[in-house]
Chain A
Amino acid sequence: MVQNKKAPPTSMELQHEIEQFLYNEAALLDDWQLEEWLTLFTADGTYFVPTTDFPEGYPEPHLALIDDDMTRLTGRVKRLLSRHAYREYPYSRTRRMISNIRVTGAEGDDLQVTASFIVYRIRMGQVAPYVGKYLYTLTRENGDLKIRHRRAVLDLEGLWDHGAVSIIL
C-alpha cells in the first residue's frame, strides 16, 4: 500500500493521458455529473474509502467508511441525485485539487496510479477540506481508460470538520 517506491518510467504521452483522465473525472464530480462519472468505471469497478484509523489498511477484517461495488455505487449516485440525500441537497459546492500524479505500476492493461488530492466541500457556512491520496487501478476498454479500483485514502485523523463523507471523494 505504501507508494513511495520509485515509479517505473512512463511516457509523456501516457502521463498526459492519465492526467487528463483524472482532471476530467474531477470536473464531472465538481459539476455533479455523477451519472456520466459512473460510466468511467468498468463493470467490476469498486470505490473504497478506509477509516481514518487505518489509512494503509489492517491485516484483519475491519470497518470501512465506504465499500462500494458497482451496484452500491450506482445506488449511491441515484441517492445523491434524488433530492432526498439531505446532507447533499441542496448540493454542496466542491473543488478538487489533484496533483502528484504518478504511475506506480503496470501489469497487462492495468495501471496503478496514485495522486494527491484536496477536495474542498463548501456548504451552510462551512468550508472543509478533505486531504488525502487516490490509489487507482486503471485499465483499458476499447482503447479508453477505465477505473477498475478507486481508493480514496484520507490523511485526516477523524471527520472532525466534516462529520461525514457525503460527497464522492
Chain B
Amino acid sequence: MKLDQLIMDDPEQGLFRVHRSTMTSEEVQRLEQERIFDRSWVYVGHESELPNPGDFIRRRVASRPMFFVHGKDGKLRAFLNTCRHRGAMVCRQDYGNAAAFQCFYHGWTYDNKGDLIGVPDEEGYAPAFDKSELGLMQPPLVEQYRGFYFACFDRSAQSLDSYLGDVKVFLDIVIDQTEGGIRILPGPVRYAIRANWKLLVENSVDGYHVPTTHQSYIQYLKDQGVSMTDPKGRSWGIDIGHGHGAFSGRERSAGQYGGVIDHFTDDVKVRLDKVKAQQIHRYGKEREDWAPGRVNFLVYPNMAFVGKTTLRTIWPVSPGLMEITGWAIVPKNESAEEQQARINEIPLFQGPGGFASPDDLEALESSQLGYAATEVEWNDLSKGMDRAPKPDDELQMRAFWRQWQADMLGLPQARNMHDLTKSASS
C-alpha cells in the first residue's frame, strides 16, 4: 500500500476511510517517528512540575530518554539523558532535586544548567578537548506556551506559537479555569495498551462511543442521581487546524470540571457555581455557552486533554503497543476541600482504575486484534461528514488523520483541509 493511498477522503460523497495498515505496519511506524515525532512540537512537561531550582523529572519524549530540569539560574531546560562521554544516562531517578548530575560510569559531572563541570583525571586529555562543548545536549528547539513546555527535533520547524495556532484557545480554557492558573499534580498514572497509539488519539476525542462503551459508567451516574436528560450548553466537533481537534460536550451537573462530581457537599457546590460564573466572565461572551462545560481536545500529534482535569501523552512503542502517562490538572488557588474533591473524582472516570478507561482499553485492544483479519482493509470515520459537526461525529478525528497524511507525505498541509460542511454550530 502506497503512502498516498492510506486514506480515502471523499467530502463530496461524505466518506472517509483509513487503511488498517496504518495501525499495523512496521514501515508506517518507522516513518511516523521520522516524519511526525521528529518534526512536530511534542510535549515535554509543565513548569509547575519543577517549582524549585534543582528540581528534575525524568521522562521519555519522542522515543528519547530525557530529563526536565529547573536550573539554578531559574531557567527550565530539557536535556537528552545521555552522558557525552559514553552514553550512560546521567539522570537515574524519576523525580528529585539535584545541584549536579554525575554519570556513575566514569564520573563526568554536569550542573543543573547542563554544563560539564567535572571530568576525573582531566590532565589525561589533550588541549583540544573542550569541556565547554560537552555539556548535556538539548533538543534543537524548546519553547513554552503559558507554562506548557514543548520540544521539537526539527531545527527548521515553525515556531510553537504558529504550530499551536487556534488550539491555544483550548489551552487557555484549561489554564483559566480559575484566576490563579493551573498546576500539574505529581504522581501520574502510567500504563500501556496493546494497540496502535492512534487508536487512543481517536478515542480521546470520540464522543460516539460513550453511550455504548461506557454504559455501565453512565448507569453508575444515574444511580447517583445525576441527571443525564438535561444537557445544557452548545456542543459540537471541531477541526482546530493543523491536526488539532476537539469536541465540546454537553454540560451535565458540575460539568465545569469536565465531569460529574458525586461527592460534593452543598457548600462546595455553591462555591463551584461561583467559580463557574467567574469562568464565564474569563472565557468571554463568545465562548460562555460552551467553554465552561466539557471539552476534550488533542494537541497534535499525541497530547490529549480529557476534560479539563486530565492530560495524557500517548507514545508508540511498536505498531501494536503504546505507552500512556496521565496527569491530573488542578487550579492553583482552590481550597483544599475543592482540590481533594476534584482529585477524588478523576480516578472514577478516567485512568486505569476508573469506571470507564478500562473499557476504552478493551475496545482499542479488541480493534487491534481485529486488524489481524487483513481481508478487512478499511476503518470508517465518515460520521457526520455532510452535516454540521456534532460532538459524537468524527470530524475531529478526520482533522487528525488529514494532518497525519500530510506529514507522512511531506506536504506542508493536508490536501482536504476540511469537510465540505463546516459550519460550527449546533
- The yes or no answer to A164 lying at the interface (CB within 8 A) is yes
> Is B343 a contact partner of A87 (Cβ separation < 8 A)?
no
Which of B215, B220, B359 makes the CB contact (< 8 A) with A87?
A: B359
- The yes or no answer to A64 lying at the interface (CB within 8 A) is yes
> Is A163 a contact partner of B361 (Cβ separation < 8 A)?
yes
> Is A158 a contact partner of B353 (Cβ separation < 8 A)?
no
Which of B191, B217, B224, B328 makes the CB contact (< 8 A) with A163?
A: B191
> Is A78 a contact partner of B340 (Cβ separation < 8 A)?
no
Task: Count residues of chain B with CB under 8 A from any CB of chain A.
Answer: 46
Q: Mark A91-129, 1 if CB is under 8 A from B, else 0.
A: 000000000000000000000000000000000101000
A53 to B327, CA, bound (A): 12
Among B17-25, B151-159, B181-189, the stretch that binds chain A is B181-189
Which of A51, A69, A86, A126 makes the CB contact (< 8 A) with B187?
A: A51
> Is B362 a contact partner of A159 (Cβ separation < 8 A)?
no
> Is A75 a contact partner of B223 (Cβ separation < 8 A)?
yes
Which of A61, A158, A165 makes the CB contact (< 8 A) with B185?
A: A61
A11 to B353, CA, bound (A): 37
- The yes or no answer to B339 lying at the interface (CB within 8 A) is yes
A149 to B215, CA, bound (A): 29
Q: Mark B345-358, 1 if CB is under 8 A from A, else 0.
A: 01110011101011
Q: Mark A41-56, 1 if CB is under 8 A from B, else 0.
A: 0000000010111100
| A61 and B339 in contact, given A79-B355, A163-B352 (Cβ under 8 angstroms) | yes
> Is A159 a contact partner of B191 (Cβ separation < 8 A)?
yes
| A61 and B189 in contact, given A86-B363, A87-B361, A165-B353 (Cβ under 8 angstroms) | no
A97 to B286, CA, bound (A): 58
- The yes or no answer to A65 lying at the interface (CB within 8 A) is yes
Q: Mark A157-169, 1 if CB is under 8 A from B, else 0.
A: 1111111111000
> Is A159 a contact partner of B190 (Cβ separation < 8 A)?
yes
Which of B188, B339, B357 makes the CB contact (< 8 A) with A53?
A: B188
> Is B192 a contact partner of A163 (Cβ separation < 8 A)?
yes
- Tell me the nearest residue of chain B to A83, going by C-beta: B216
- The yes or no answer to A85 lying at the interface (CB within 8 A) is yes
From DSSP, what is the main secondary structure of chain A's interface residues?
A: loop
> Is B216 a contact partner of A79 (Cβ separation < 8 A)?
yes
Chain B residues near A72: list those with CB within 8 A: 262, 348
Q: Mark B216-233, 1 if CB is under 8 A from A, else 0.
A: 110110011000000000
- Tell me the nearest residue of chain B to A63, going by C-beta: B328
| A87 and B358 in contact, given A63-B343, A163-B191 (Cβ under 8 angstroms) | yes
- Tell me the nearest residue of chain B to A64, going by C-beta: B347
- The yes or no answer to B323 lying at the interface (CB within 8 A) is yes
| Most A C-beta atoms less than 10 A away, residue of B216, B217, B223, B351 | B216
- The yes or no answer to A62 lying at the interface (CB within 8 A) is yes
- The yes or no answer to A17 lying at the interface (CB within 8 A) is no
- The yes or no answer to A155 lying at the interface (CB within 8 A) is no
Q: Which residues 24-70 in B have Cβ within 8 Å of A in the complex?
A: none
Which of B188, B328, B352 makes the CB contact (< 8 A) with A164?
A: B352
- The yes or no answer to B78 lying at the interface (CB within 8 A) is no
Which of A71, A157, A164 makes the CB contact (< 8 A) with B353?
A: A164
> Is B339 a contact partner of A164 (Cβ separation < 8 A)?
no
Closest chain-A Cβ to B290's Cβ sits at a distance in Å of: 27
A65 to B263, CA, bound (A): 17
> Is A60 a contact partner of B186 (Cβ separation < 8 A)?
yes
> Is B192 a contact partner of A63 (Cβ separation < 8 A)?
no
> Is B348 a contact partner of A164 (Cβ separation < 8 A)?
no
Chain B residues near A159: list those with CB within 8 A: 189-192, 352
> Is A51 a contact partner of B188 (Cβ separation < 8 A)?
yes
Which of A53, A75, A78 makes the CB contact (< 8 A) with B94?
A: A53
- The yes or no answer to A67 lying at the interface (CB within 8 A) is yes
A67 to B224, CA, bound (A): 17
Closest chain-B Cβ to A59's Cβ sits at a distance in Å of: 10
Closest chain-A Cβ to B214's Cβ sits at a distance in Å of: 9
| A76 and B94 in contact, given A58-B186, A62-B187, A159-B191 (Cβ under 8 angstroms) | no
Chain A residues near B344: list those with CB within 8 A: 64, 67
- The yes or no answer to A10 lying at the interface (CB within 8 A) is no
- Tell me the nearest residue of chain A to B191, going by C-beta: A159
- The yes or no answer to B194 lying at the interface (CB within 8 A) is yes
Contacts A75-B224, A88-B358 supplied; 14 other A-B pairs, CB < 8 Å: A52-B189, A52-B190, A53-B94, A63-B327, A63-B343, A67-B344, A71-B262, A82-B216, A85-B216, A124-B365, A159-B191, A160-B190, A161-B192, A166-B361
Query: Can you list 26 A-B contacts (CB < 8 A)?
Result: A51-B188, A53-B186, A54-B187, A58-B186, A60-B186, A63-B189, A64-B343, A65-B347, A65-B352, A67-B344, A75-B224, A76-B355, A78-B220, A79-B216, A79-B220, A82-B216, A84-B216, A85-B359, A86-B358, A86-B359, A158-B192, A163-B191, A163-B358, A164-B353, A165-B358, A166-B352
